[in-house]
Amino acid sequence: MVTSTHEVSHRIFDAHPEALAPLYEALGVPPPTKSDIREITPDATEIRPLERRVDTVLKVEPPEGEHYLLAIEAQTKRDPDKATNWAYYVAYLRATYDLPVLLVAVCRDRPTADWAAGPFACGVGPWTTQVTRPFVLGPQTVPEITDPSAAARRPGLAVLSAIVHSDSRRSAAILDAVADGWRSFDKDTLAYWFETMEIALANTPARAKWRELHMPVGSYYPGQGTLIEEKYLEGEANGEAKGEAKDRATLILRVLDKHAVDVPEDIRERVTSCTDLDTLMLWFDRSLTATTAEDLFAENEDGPDEGNQNQTSV
Q: Are 94 and 83 in contact (CB under 8 A)?
A: no
Please, which residues have CB within 8 angstroms of residue 4's CB and are 6 or more apart in sequence? 199, 200, 202, 221, 224
Q: How far is CA 101 from CA 80, 175, 270, in A?
A: 22, 33, 55
Q: Are 149 and 288 in contact (CB under 8 A)?
A: yes
Q: How far is CA 149 from CA 52, 86, 134, 158, in A?
A: 40, 37, 31, 11
pLDDT in tens, 141-199: 999 999 999 999 999 999 999 999 998 888 999 999 999 999 888 888 888 888 888 88
Q: At residue 35, does pLDDT exceed 70?
A: yes
Q: How far is CA 131 from CA 24, 83, 122, 134, in A?
A: 22, 10, 6, 10
pLDDT in tens, 79-116: 988 889 999 999 999 999 999 999 999 998 899 999 99
Q: Can you tell me the distance from the alpha carbon of 17 to that of 6, in angstroms, rounded to the nearest whole number?
A: 16
Q: Are 146 and 173 in contact (CB under 8 A)?
A: yes
Q: What is the mean pLDDT of residues 65-84?
A: 90
- In this prediction, residue 308 carries a pLDDT of 44
User: What is the average pLDDT value for the chain, to the nearest integer?
Assistant: 81
Q: How far is CA 81 from the centre of its chain?
A: 28
Helix (H, G, I), strand (E, B) or coil at 131: strand
Give the rounded percent of residues in the chain with a pLDDT score beyond 70: 78
pLDDT-derived band at 231 (thresholds 50, 70, 90) equals low
Q: Could you count the other beta carbons within 10 Å of the beta carbon of residue 314? A: 9
Q: Are 18 and 63 in contact (CB under 8 A)?
A: no
Please, which residues have CB within 8 angstroms of residue 273's CB and are 6 or more apart in sequence? 310
pLDDT-derived band at 129 (thresholds 50, 70, 90) equals very high
Q: Are 286 and 259 in contact (CB under 8 A)?
A: no
- In this prediction, residue 196 carries a pLDDT of 86
Please, which residues have CB within 8 angstroms of residue 293's CB and are 6 or more apart in sequence? 256, 261, 262, 263, 264, 267
